[in-house]
A = this chain, B = another copy of it.
Amino acid sequence: MAQSIRACVVGATGYAGIEAVRLLLGHPAFELTKATDRKIAGTKVSETYPALAGICDLAYSEPDPEDIAKVADVAFLAVPHTASLALTPELLALGVSVVDLSADYRIKDPAVYEAWYGTKHTSPELLEDAVYGLPELNRAGLEKLAERRAAGQAVLVAAPGCYPTATALAALPALEAGFVEGDLVISDAISGVTGAGRTPSARTHFCHADESVEAYGVAHHRHTPEIEQTLSGIAGKQMSVVFTPHLAPLKRGLLATVYLPLAQDAAPDEVYAAYTARYAEEPLVTVLPSGQMPQTSSVAGTARAQVGLGFDTRRRRMAIVSCAIDNLGKGAAAQAVQCANVLFGLPETEGLLGMAPIA
């Protein structure tokens, strides 16, 4: 067998981080050599996460770049925004490639980043070469990065946010094919509670979240500019999104229902055909039979996305497209591993073909 690629997960107690740990532990080509958490360094991972008892013997360590560089070819950063700004330049300088799950290198325009995240971008010089890690959109970019990495450079992938991933996959074929009229799209999304993070709070308390749904972050969620950047890139013109996330009582799963006003001559059949054609060769994206909408449980725990389409043609033509992903899977850690697979010349779906439990 080929030598393992050594991987470190930085911020391995949060939900995205521990999902990366789980995926890497089960991955045939990566070897998890380090999992860091500043607050509980020294503690065994399985003490915090008993699901890993008898499976993972690693203890959390400090996120020290030099230590990481000694044992890792690639670091997955599952840290809050700004923490990546602090770590990434140093890791790259030490020769460690970075797949960053934070928002720090997603937004190409540092002024937009600064406006939405309320903090200065301290390494804007890295933004140009960072590749936004949505393989279904940017595979060529990732492959070029893989070449540079193979040539000895440490490289940087900015793994997309969960809502932007689902919204982009829902809108991509229609936008690309020019079926969308105007420049305004509505993305109405529902997320499971892992999306709110692992830090206990009034809002993530079981008794608050259970048996209830609510909208949050209306008109000011930080994924907004990321969605707009991606949709604009696809459309080749400035697009706006009105984005409303909701919280629902499930652990994992994200459904984005995207409203796409259609040009008057866009026939539903044609639009549907554009989706099946666009995703025919995508191993992790499935377009459901016409008229069938996806449910999030179908992709829970996986790297997969399912897309379903409906059409309202009564007065205005509108495509209503739902995309279901696991916010921690295709929406975070699994997509990060998908990108890392490309970076290291592995089959893109290596270690990522698990199926959602049925029921």
Q: How many copies does the complex hold?
A: 4
Which residues of chain B are within 8 angstroms of A188 by Cβ–Cβ distance? 186, 188, 244, 257, 259
Across the interface, do A219 and B310 meet the contact criterion of CB distance under 8 Å? Answer: yes
Which residues of chain B are within 8 angstroms of A209 by Cβ–Cβ distance? 206
Across the interface, do A213 and B255 meet the contact criterion of CB distance under 8 Å? Answer: yes
Judge whether A117 is part of the interface by a CB distance below 8 angstroms.
no
Known: A210-B297, A218-B312, A242-B259. 19 other contacts (CB 8 A): A15-B358, A22-B357, A50-B306, A51-B297, A51-B299, A53-B306, A184-B316, A188-B188, A188-B244, A206-B208, A206-B209, A211-B300, A212-B297, A213-B296, A214-B293, A215-B310, A240-B316, A244-B257, A300-B357
A210 to B206, CA, bound (A): 7
Which residues of chain B are within 8 angstroms of A298 by Cβ–Cβ distance? 50-51, 53, 212
* Among candidates B194, B286, B294, residue contacting A207 with C-beta atoms closer than 8 Å: B194
Judge whether A163 is part of the interface by a CB distance below 8 angstroms.
no
Across the interface, do A50 and B357 meet the contact criterion of CB distance under 8 Å? Answer: no
A15 to B304, CA, bound (A): 22
Can you name 27 A-B pairs with beta carbons within 8 Å? A15-B359, A18-B358, A18-B359, A22-B355, A25-B355, A26-B354, A50-B306, A53-B289, A53-B298, A186-B186, A190-B190, A193-B206, A193-B207, A194-B359, A200-B204, A204-B205, A206-B209, A208-B297, A210-B210, A211-B297, A215-B310, A218-B312, A240-B314, A246-B257, A248-B249, A252-B357, A328-B359
